[in-house]
Chain A
Amino acid sequence: MGLFILRRLGVMILTAICLTFIVFFLTNLHPNLEKLAKTQGEMRMSDEQVDRWLANRGYDQPLPIKYGEWLGVWPSKIIEVDDGRAYGRCLQTGVSIADTPRFCGVIQGDWGFSTVFKDEVSSIVATRLSLTGKLMFWVMMLMIPSALLIGVLAGMREGSRTDRSLSTVSIITTATPEYVSGVIFIALFAASASPLNQWLASMDWIEGRTLFKGTATSAMENANFNNFFLPVLTISLYGMGYIARMTRASMAEVMTAQYIRTARLKGVSFPKIVVKHALRNALIAPFTVIMLQIPWLLNGVVIVETLFNYKGFGWVLVQAAGNNDIELLLGVSVVSVIVVLITQLISDIGYVYLNPRISVS
């Protein structure tokens, strides 16, 4: 087991290095740097000025060296310009050039500086990640219990009317991407023009003009049911159907097993069979699916945070990508890659623990 985890960690680090190098390469293509220079410097710079701007900040070095500097395995170059100013990754205000450390990359814990937000990448990522963490926590709280419930209810009597209607519901939710369900929910529950809200308002049943809020910006400090439910519901719904279908399939399979038939013949009541005998074995498969769903949820998070204007991790990803904020983008991709790979690792390990028939080789 130890060796297995170690090997997986090795692959993980290799994947992270490859991925960040690809991101580094793409963000450092010349047209992108030119755009960066023009947005950071001045819009009407000539080509020469752009080149000088980039050279002064060390952007004209060969790609592997720049990548090494970011990673912290290559000494960072300090460039002194004619007018007395100096540029370099490692420079800090109040520290003289002689005292500046030579290496300052990710390995040293220095994630760089965001050109869009004018702040340290590490602090941006930390605050935004905690906001998204809050969102994800409530998504999980809503999605997993309801998905398992739907799946178990549908799968315990295969082919019944409950099964058919619940299966249809889960197919519909998997067919509704977040930007569709989000738009429908906002139109229905959060728009003052919606007939539902107008009716509710005319009956004086709701305070204000809408049932829910269409933006979740206020939920960043003070989340409540009113401003946070719609984004949470939108993300959960898309993943819910998939988990429910997996649970249903696995439950239906367990219910045909011999030991369930034996229990029934012994006269154990149906609810007791479901809860005591079937459930444990039926939940092995959904566990893996839930873990593998997390990286997928990341996608939904980006869409929903954009749609509901909730300034979390996904929103930062869009901002960084749209403005070619190189170091922020690298930080974001490192974090998301780690999330993806760790969930894969946990799902593999958990699968082994839950299912004694499988062993790691």
Chain B
Amino acid sequence: MEPLSWGGIFAGMFVQLIPVWIALIVTFTVSIYYKRKLGLYGKLFDSTIGMIGFALVMFWVFVAALGSMDMILTHDPLGQVSGMKNKLPGTPLRGAQDGDYAHYLLGGDNLARDIFSRVMSGATIVILIAPLATLFAYMVGITLGLPAGYFGGKFDTLLSFVANLVLAFPVILLFYLLVTPEIVNTGLPQYMAIVLFFFPLIFFSVLINTRLKQQPQKNVIWLCAVLIPLAVMYVVTINAPSTKIDILGSLDFFNPAAGILVVFVSVVFVNSPTVFRIVRGLTLDIKQRDYVAAAQTRGEGPWYIMLWEILPNARGPLIVDFCLRIGYTTILLGTLGFFGLGLPPESPDWGSTINDGRKLLSIYLHPALPPAFALLSLVLGLNLLADGLREESLRD
């Protein structure tokens, strides 16, 4: 077998990614066709920058989704093939059987694993954790920021002090203090998870209860439908076998892979104070408006006003910041991987692979560059998307 030329490598990758291209084309055709009926999402397709950003983000989302369904990877991301150590891109696989993909498209890393497959499966980890962690940070930030801004007073002073405290911490020091194995063994991240993961429950119960208080029957149905699955998820997520918190025993059907929970908790913890500050600032601004005064004269409760009058009117800046913050979370995840914290060392996430690749960077360029460009393109896509959304939401 001949090694592939650069043209051959790109052609190979293009062919390998065909499911992603199809999914992208379908998404774009449908969205552009119906864009007038889709609100803010549809308006995104009026701005070029927004479309480019959306395409970059959706590319990685589809890679993550289809990659976990095993439609894109050429090799096992953890599998080592002898003789493929540090081999250049396009090197034919040594001892390839029928049914094996015949080349290492982007070469092999220092443990003879296929770099292309590792980058693609790294996307799954990032796309799974980053938006979800940002969402949790938003739940925490909103649930605390709204009352802090609305009521003010001692509660606000205390929470703002705590938020500034966390923000004054150098992020990397915080990661080192939370994510080292010794601390993980004490169960501290799990205790933090108990607190942080409880906020979505509070948020949704208050959200539903304030809206449907007058219709008790509907209220109960809605509360059950939302809270029971959430509560079950809450309990099985924080419960992990053979740690300090193991009360369910064999009932525990969901256990995230080693280290993911810890990484998730620390990222949520670092992000929520900033969200808190943003939400608090927006609330301080919006509570002066006439419609809030109108709701107050109507005799609405404070939580109803916060969640159904103030929050929907703060959505513009929050959506834009949400996109930016997913990018920032991706960068934080990469930082964790770069310092070898949290995730297991063989994990294919981009930060860890960059860290592995940089050690031999002066001799072998190819292991470190693909994950670096992957991370760059995803964060760039999110920033462009946020820019497009900001432009379009300012237009009306």
Residues of A whose CB lies within 8 Å of any CB of B are: 11, 14-15, 18-19, 23, 26-27, 29-32, 34-35, 171-172, 174-177, 179-180, 183-184, 186-187, 190-194, 214, 295, 298-299, 302-303, 306-307, 314, 317-318, 321-322, 324, 329, 332-333, 336-337, 340-341
Contacts and interface: CB of A to CB of B under 8 A. Distances in A.
A19 B169 contact: yes
Interface in B216-237: none
Residue with the greatest number of chain A CB neighbours at <10 A, chosen from B170, B171, B327, B368: B170
A192 B362 contact: yes
Contacts of A321: 172-173, 176-177, 180
Residue with the greatest number of chain A CB neighbours at <10 A, chosen from B173, B363, B376: B173
Contacts of B180: 32, 321, 324
A302 B171 CA distance: 10
B380 interface: yes
B351 interface: yes
Contacts of B171: 299
B361 interface: yes
Contacts of B357: 183
Given A15-B164, A183-B357, A183-B372, A31 B383 contact: no
Given A180-B376, A214-B361, A298-B170, 20 more contacts: A18-B165, A19-B165, A23-B173, A26-B183, A29-B188, A175-B379, A175-B383, A179-B334, A183-B358, A183-B369, A184-B373, A193-B363, A193-B364, A299-B171, A302-B172, A306-B338, A307-B358, A317-B172, A317-B173, A318-B172
Contact of B369 (A187, A303, A314, A332): A187
Given A183-B369, A336-B173, A32 B183 contact: yes
A176 B328 CA distance: 10
A15 to B, nearest CB: 6
Nearest to A306: B339
B331 A177 contact: yes
B177 A23 contact: yes
Q: Per DSSP, are chain B's interface residues mostly helix, strand or loop, or mixed?
A: helix
A336 B174 CA distance: 12
B182 A32 contact: yes
Interface in B52-108: none
Contacts of A324: 180, 182
A186 B384 CA distance: 26
A18 to B, nearest CB: 6
14 contacts: A32-B182, A171-B384, A175-B379, A177-B375, A180-B373, A187-B368, A187-B369, A298-B170, A299-B170, A318-B176, A318-B339, A321-B176, A333-B170, A337-B168
Interface string B156-169: 00000100110111
B185 interface: yes
Nearest to B178: A26
B160 to A, nearest CB: 10
Contacts of A332: 173
A30 B173 CA distance: 19
A29 B189 CA distance: 13
Contacts of B387: 171
B354 interface: yes
Interface in B342-396: 351, 354-355, 357-358, 361-365, 368-369, 372-373, 375-376, 379-380, 382-384, 387
Contacts of A186: 358, 361-362
A317 B182 contact: no
A32 B375 CA distance: 33
B143 interface: no
A214 B362 contact: yes
Nearest to B53: A171
Nearest to A215: B362
A193 B183 contact: no
